Amino acid sequence: MHVGVLLPFTPPPGASPDFLRQLMIELRDAPPIQSPWDLKVKNPDFLSSPRQRWVRDESFDLDYHVRRYGLPIPGGERELGVLVSRLHSVQMDFHRPLWETSFIEGLAGGRFAMYTKVHHSLIDGYTAMRLLSGSMSTDPDERDMPHFFHRSKPARSSVGEPVASFSALFSMVREQLDGTPVFWKAVARLGKSLGGRDRMLKAPMQAPNTIFNKRISRNRRFATQSYDLSRLKNLAKVAGGTLNDVALALCGAALRRLLIQLNALPDEPLIAMLPVNLRPANDPGGGNAVGAILASLATHIKDPVERLHQIIASTQRAKQQLEGMPRSTILQYSALLLAPLSVQMATGIAGRVRPAFNVVISNVPGPKEPLYFRGARLEAAYPLSIPFHGYGLNITLNSYAGTLNCGFIGCRDGLPHLQKLAVFAGEGLEELETALL
């Protein structure tokens, strides 16, 4: 249940060959690690204990959490992808704080990369992007920005801390009651979808079985792709959809083409679960605050324009379900959508029965301006998320400085040719542009 990010950098002008070595020395001499990066779970061998909580790691070892790797020079994107795939395959040690950072050197032209993984119990994608922005600078001459583990995470209530006041508790209860009629109307509409009377609205357990909705191994494969945001925005404007709709269309096109090649395309459309950020504007982040909707990827449709329009109709219908709901009710509705998944995971039948949906596709907004780390320019930010039993493919999108960066992570043994998926997504973009523009 760890997430990660791969950050490739162009070194600053005049950087010495031992740039990363000097950086490692600097990190060891830096101020103490800030909370929550020095916290671990109290009972690592009993993770389901109701008395579980975070405690400070009194024997924190920076050398365990911050590492340095070298690729055979000159390292290419393939070698980098292989290393990151292997690093992401390793389960985290629950006897230690749940994060690791790896600096990777040896890329062509003196470039280097940073791969960081963090357990999802600590942060969600929104918070991760806030931390990324806060650990870097828009000034290429800035050299003193502290790394993320030397910065404290935005404050949240401590585990086990009681609600501050009765009035706060009353407000929570009132919000829940206010959202109840909207919730039950949304549930009724889901019932119509299950009965076939609302084909645009997708409900749990309507997804077909695919080759990646099986049991998975611990091994991962990772692939990346990057697009100019302006290309996707142009398509969204012409089609009357959103940037996210176009991104879903690229994923749908890639999955359709790959499954056709493998003679494994279902007759029914694949369904994606889309996490929804529930934070208000300018929220400082911290912890997790995520809802969910389901949408069709229209993989049963050959024509790319018709496929895009079907996706737009499906996402609009899913968003209508959330209209008028307070945050607490959205969480309640999301829990309903994910209930079949929860049952599958709890009973151990995930990957052996029909999936609740086929794939998770997340879109996390990132920094709009180029960022620099110790003068090195961040080229892209490729996210890595979580495959799990029954759901062996996860696609996460992240915008950064006018680009959309895509991270495809899947089970190495259950989903062959993952790199082709990234290539086919690029071809899907060209196909849409030819048809629409």
**Structure tokens of 189?**
């509409």
Query: DSSP readout, 348-411?
Result: T-TTTS--S-SEEEEEE---SS--EETTEEE---EEE---BTTB-EEEEEEEETTEEEEEEEEE
**Sign of the CA dihedral 86, 89, 94, 98?**
positive
End-to-end CA distance of the chain, in Å? 41
Return the number of other C-beta atoms located less than 10 Å from residue 367's C-beta. 18
- Could you say which of 65, 88, 120, 300 is catalytic? 120
Helix H or strand E segment including 276: strand 271-277
Number of H helices and E strands in the chain, helices first, is: 11, 15
Is 120 annotated in the active site?
Answer: yes
Which tokens go with 394?
A: 């996860």
In this structure, which amino acid lies at residue 220? Answer: R
Burial (CB count within 10 angstroms: exposed 0-12, middle 13-18, buried 19+), residue 1: exposed
**Secondary structure class of 134 (helix, strand, coil):** helix
Rounded Cα–Cα distance for residues 391 and 210 (Å): 10
- Cis before 74 (ω within 30): yes
Active-site annotation, residues: 120
